[in-house]
Copies of this chain bind each other. A is one copy, B any other.
Amino acid sequence: MTTSSYASQVSNRMNNFGLAQTGSSKKFRVCVIGSGNWGTTVAKIVAENAAEKPELFQSEVRMWVYQEQLDGQNLTDIINAKHENVKYLPDIKLPSNLVADPDIKNTVKGADLVVFNIPHQFLRNICKQLQGIDFTGVRAISCLKGLEVSKDGVLLLSDYIEQQLGMHCGVLSGANLAPEVAKEKYCETTIAYPRPSDYYEGDIDESILKTLFQRQYFHVRISPDVAGVSIGGALKNVVALTAGFVEGRGWGDNAKAAIMRRGLLEMIKFSKTFFPDAKATTFTAESAGVADLITSCAGGRNHRVGMEMARTGKPIEQIEKELLNGQSAQGICTAREVNELLTEKNMADDFPLFTATYKIAFEDLNIDDLPAYLED
């Protein structure tokens, strides 16, 4: 398809969906899939900017919410009445142009940009529900943390979304503990969004994305490295589990820093092994790399789960249930996926920290044997 015929097709689709256009510039319609604490926080950011920049964005931002009942009421109705996600992000006021929607197809209707922000394990099912819809020209940003592992190898979740739904998909990841971002405390994030091969004049680009996501408290950095940003976001959760193990054992800050150093090196090695285009500097210089690792090992969910496992010896998935109010610690799932991949490729010994973490979480390796396991 030539660029011009593609642009005209996109234009037709837009007209069909009734998007407002001012001269050559259209107003982008944005929606968010997911409403956990990070999903709701990102939806809040996007809706704030959509409302403040009417020259670029349609004001209404729909957020798909997995419907639940709270005291006999629909969660979506509560969110839309109170402008607060009382279940997953309590005490944070949401903008009134953010509309909770239990119908995923209605949520994405007419959207120019779909922001995915759900736990990895729900992605397949979400994609199934969206299959068959024509997403020609629709763009996406994945805030998911994880990797899609199969016998064939490993796939970035943004690539999985692109393959399943035909949306060109970038990623957003960074040192972003949701409760702090929701309270509008200062932080940074990284967006990687290389322009699609079918990019057209007036299409969403990295500058539009920066405008959509940047707030005074949420500082966006643009990176070209989708793989590096994605892998950083996925693997830091595994290292955060390990850091939690060590902290839970009371070994102190030196030991925790040693684990994080080793973890960072394995993250880089993993990316170089499976995604040769990924850049080491994404891990060492970007918010989605070392900064996210630091934050996640300081106060994230995975770190808390790891600590609790070290303290109590309970099975890790039981701790996740008890500790996280229905949310998930993605590092548990990622540790398993990574181990599956490394075992399949006969490379488990090349990644001793990832392998030890898996064995502590799911097999019978003792945390006290971790230093010996990591010995060069």
A→B interface (CB under 8 Å): 175-177, 180-181, 183, 185-188, 219, 221, 251-258, 260-261, 264-265, 280, 283-287, 290-292, 294-295, 298-299, 371, 375-376
Candidate in A183, A219, A261, A298 with the most chain B CB atoms within 10 angstroms: A261
- Tell me the minimal C-beta distance from A139 to chain B in angstroms: 25
Q: Is the interface of A mostly helix, strand, loop or mixed?
A: helix
Report Cα–Cα, A123/B311, bound state, in Å: 44
B254 touches A186 (CB 8 A): yes
B298 touches A177 (CB 8 A): no
Residues of chain B contacted by A255 (CB below 8 angstroms): 180, 185-187
- Tell me the minimal C-beta distance from A301 to chain B in angstroms: 12
Copies of this polypeptide in the complex: 2
Q: Which among B180, B257, B286 is the interface contact of A254 at CB below 8 angstroms?
A: B180
Report Cα–Cα, A188/B251, bound state, in Å: 13
Q: Which among B221, B260, B285, B292 is the interface contact of A294 at CB below 8 angstroms?
A: B260
Residues of chain B contacted by A286 (CB below 8 angstroms): 261
Q: What are 6 residue pairs bridging A and B, where the CB atoms are less than 8 Å apart in the complex?
A: A180-B255, A187-B254, A252-B299, A260-B294, A283-B284, A298-B298
B291 touches A252 (CB 8 A): no
Report Cα–Cα, A375/B186, bound state, in Å: 12
Q: Which B residue sits closest to A254, measured CB to CB?
A: B187
Report Cα–Cα, A264/B289, bound state, in Å: 12
- Tell me the minimal C-beta distance from A152 to chain B in angstroms: 31
A261 touches B299 (CB 8 A): no
Residues of chain B contacted by A285 (CB below 8 angstroms): 261, 264-265
Q: A187-B252, A187-B258, A256-B294 are in contact. List 7 more A-B contacts (CB 8 A).
A: A177-B252, A253-B295, A256-B298, A257-B287, A258-B291, A260-B294, A261-B285
Report Cα–Cα, A284/B261, bound state, in Å: 8
Residues of chain B contacted by A219 (CB below 8 angstroms): 258, 371, 375
A-B CB proximity, top 3 nearest: A187-B254, A284-B284, A175-B257
Q: Which B residue sits closest to A174, measured CB to CB?
A: B254
Report Cα–Cα, A292/B284, bound state, in Å: 14
Report Cα–Cα, A94/B254, bound state, in Å: 21
Residues of chain B contacted by A291 (CB below 8 angstroms): 257-258, 260-261
Q: Which B residue sits closest to A293, measured CB to CB?
A: B257
B180 touches A252 (CB 8 A): yes
